[in-house]
Homo-oligomer: A and B are copies of this chain.
Amino acid sequence: MTMCGNNTRIQNLIPKTDLFGELSEDQQSEIVSIVSIRNVERGEIVFSEGDEGLGFYVLLSGRVRIFKLSPDGKEQVLHFPECGDSFGEVPVFSGGNFPAHAQAMKKSELLFFPREAFIQLIQKDPSLALSMLAMLSKRLRRFAQMVESLSLREVPGRLASYLIQLSRQDQTNANQATTTVHLDVPKSQLASLLGTIPETLSRIFARMTREGLIESAEGNAVIILDFHGLQELADGERRLA
């Protein structure tokens, strides 16, 4: 039920996703035939925790956050899908409802995969199943990491890990004495991803600056001075004053 123009766009983007990139052209057109596209505006809720999970999504463009909400309104971000990543798959395979909320942080394009049709596709095509298993396994690994991080490390260590991780992804040379990384989300959202609040995050950036680990954290740019020091923080071998 998608328009022709959309189908062309989908056909161009499907091959770039982890999930479908390795499929044959025939298989890819089968995918195209079951998906629909959904455009969402900044702030729009894609789905809420507890909604019936009739299918899952793939992020084509824009930015979405997946998060939990506590009774008193505090938020914990579970993850930010990258473009090409799927989200909301859990109820597709285990039934029931979405385990978390999904909200667009800016205008975004999503693909929607209806549950039944997708399961039929998997049954015809084990390699698709393996791709999905790989996707869920990676997520599981990151969640395990997150649990460890929340429980076993203090906020400075979690932030240090995050900065190191970012600097690895960033094209700039991670072994330079001085490296600039660019936060891909507002600091308030980063706080929520790290399991803390903006005030605490702000104070820790300030302490890191005082100790010469970073030069500054202004706007979304963090200038790293002491890579090795950050690594020690992340490993719990060092602590901030």
Contacts and interface: CB of A to CB of B under 8 A. Distances in A.
Copies of the chain in the assembly:
2
A129 B140 contact: no
A123 B72 CA distance: 46
Contacts of A146: 143, 147
A137 B122 CA distance: 15
Interface residues of A, number: 47
Given A126-B123, A133-B129, A141 B71 contact: no
Interface in A91-111: 91-94, 99-100
A236 interface: yes
A223 to B, nearest CB: 27
B147 A140 contact: no
A138 interface: yes
Interface stretch (A150-158, A159-167, A198-206): A150-158
A178 interface: no
A136 interface: yes
Interface string A216-241: 00000000000000000001110000
Interface string A48-82: 00000000000000000000101110101010000
Contacts of A133: 93, 122, 129, 132-133, 136
A141 B94 contact: yes
Interface string A7-25: 0000000000000000000
Interface of A: 68, 70-72, 74, 76, 78, 89-94, 99-100, 119, 122-127, 129-130, 132-134, 136-141, 143-148, 150-153, 195, 235-237
11 contacts: A72-B236, A76-B151, A90-B137, A99-B144, A119-B130, A129-B130, A143-B143, A143-B146, A147-B147, A147-B150, A147-B195
